[in-house]
Amino acid sequence: MLLKYFYDQKLAHASYLVGCQRAKEAVIVDPGRDIEPYIELADREGLKITAVAETHIHADYVSGARELADRVGAKLYVSDEGPSDWKYLYLEPYDHQLLHDGDHFMLGKIRFDVLHTPGHTPESISFVLTDQGGGADKPMGIFTGDFVFVGSIGRPDLLEEAAGLAGTAEPGARDLFRSAERFKSMPDYLQVWPAHGAGSACGKGLGAIPSSTVGYEKLFNPALQFTDEEEFVKYILADQPEAPKYFAVMKRVNKEGPKVLGAGHHHAILDVGQVSDALKSGTVVDVSPSPDFAKGHVPGSINIPIGMLAGWAGWLVDYDRPTYLICQPDQLEEAARVLHKIGVEEIVGGFDTNQVRAAGLASEVYATGTPADLSSAIESGEVQLIDVRSNDEWKAGHIEQAEHRFLGRLPANLDGLSGDKKIVVQCQSGARSSIGVSVLQAAGIKNVINLTGGYAAWKSDQLPSVQGQACCT
């Protein structure tokens, strides 16, 4: 048996190739949309990808299951558990098998047993692997998807928080408690292979270690220490990270079937004469480093540096309009690939940032200032201070004069930001606040300053701060 681990750092997403070297076949577990790494590895190992096994309808990235079925003819093994609202709708043209608790399927001599493990989502299943070709009669490990992570457990509130399905969080938490009890009854030696690591919004406090064991998680995973259902429900529903609004889009896309991109999918550099029309028809995202954007950018564009695209484009890009990129030509395909992974489908193309500047289109700037530069104006109320950090960061400590307006919801939360008074935008380090400044400028609010160094620099300068509850924004 061959087991290979793939990790997409930008999405904190783990997927796996399991190969039967005797049968020369492979299955991909919870594939991401970019399927080339799976195909390349399988070719190197002399394997044919014949199957895909998916633990649930994912909410945080576009699945590569359909792409693999279409491109290489892989058979789809997917859940048929849960209510009718959460059934796969694109399966008919493809070879597939609907799975229920107690089912199993084989890849050569490798056996995959199916466990229904609801809670994170109603249809969630896990796969228990036994390498019968190696002579084993007991399982080696379990692919838990978004059910059990290293040091955490899948959140049950996403359907309610992100998809807007009211009243599903608490029943999901109770399902999750029962699934956790089932997990704790499994052998301690069983390896645990989850679909996410640290940084994912699919749970709180995920560990950065790629795998674990059932026994270790039973000892040290905070979510598995509860024996009382009510206490577990209270714990698991509290203090979850903000659920990105694009998660609702992902659930729909992965249920209905993502668009097949196909081999050779690519994007073109566009003529800069089209920039004006792009601003009118869609979202124009400049992926330049924030200091470069501050010194000159196209009015109406928003700035999401390329390394932050995966985390923030899903919050800030309008999925119902076309997307255009301003970038270096050699960045275009990578930026588009990241956007496709989070379901941004209509990427018209990119504008060469050098040509944009040469044409004099980068005519807008914004100011920056350190805490030393701005503290007096902030404390006197001369400027309006906006803190765009998360709820948890705000509660842990913030500048007393700040208003909390989380970056992901900033485009819809502009009331009271007329620009009559200078606005200072602040985060922890200055990175997210620079995105926030671009959002405000694109909305027509021009008198904006980025607090360089953010709250960390404010504290380093020993300037005053307070603690408190997160506000509604």
Q: What is the pLDDT along the chain (473 residues), one digit of tens a residue?
A: 999 999 999 999 999 999 999 999 999 999 999 999 999 999 999 999 999 999 999 989 999 999 999 999 999 999 999 988 889 999 999 999 999 999 999 999 999 999 999 999 999 999 999 999 888 999 999 999 999 999 999 999 887 766 666 788 899 999 999 999 999 999 999 999 999 998 887 888 888 899 999 999 999 999 999 999 999 999 999 988 887 778 888 888 999 999 999 998 999 999 999 999 999 999 999 999 999 999 999 999 999 999 999 999 999 999 999 999 999 999 999 999 999 999 999 999 999 999 999 999 999 999 999 999 999 999 999 999 999 999 989 999 999 999 999 999 999 999 989 767 899 999 999 999 999 999 999 999 989 999 999 999 999 999 999 987 654 44
- pTM score, whole prediction: 0.91
Q: Which of 310, 326, 335, 166 is nearest to 250 (CA)?
A: 310
For the beta carbon of residue 412, count every other beta carbon within 10 angstroms: 10
Q: Which of 385, 417, 408, 426 is nearest to 473 (CA)?
A: 408
Q: Are 104 and 113 in contact (CB under 8 A)?
A: yes
What three-state secondary structure class fits 2?
strand
**Amino acid present at 308:** M
Closest among 279, 444, 265 to 356, alpha carbons compared: 279
Q: Can you spell out the DSSP letters for 257-299?
A: -PPP--TT----BPPGGGHHHHHHHSEEEE-S-HHHHHH-B-T
Cα 45–chain centre separation: 30
Q: DSSP 3-state assignment of 428? A: coil
Sign (positive/negative) of CA torsion 373, 374, 377, 383?
positive
- Cα dihedral: 308, 312, 313, 315 (round 10): 180
Strands lying side by side in the sheet with 448-451: 367-369, 448-451, 423-426, 384-387, 403-404
- Is residue 71 within 8 A of residue 263, CB to CB? The reply is yes
**Residues 96, 73: Cα–Cα separation, whole Å:** 10
**Got the DSSP string for 371-391?**
HHHHHHHHHHTSSEEEE-S-H
Check if the beta carbon of residue 388 is closer than 8 Å to that of residue 426: yes
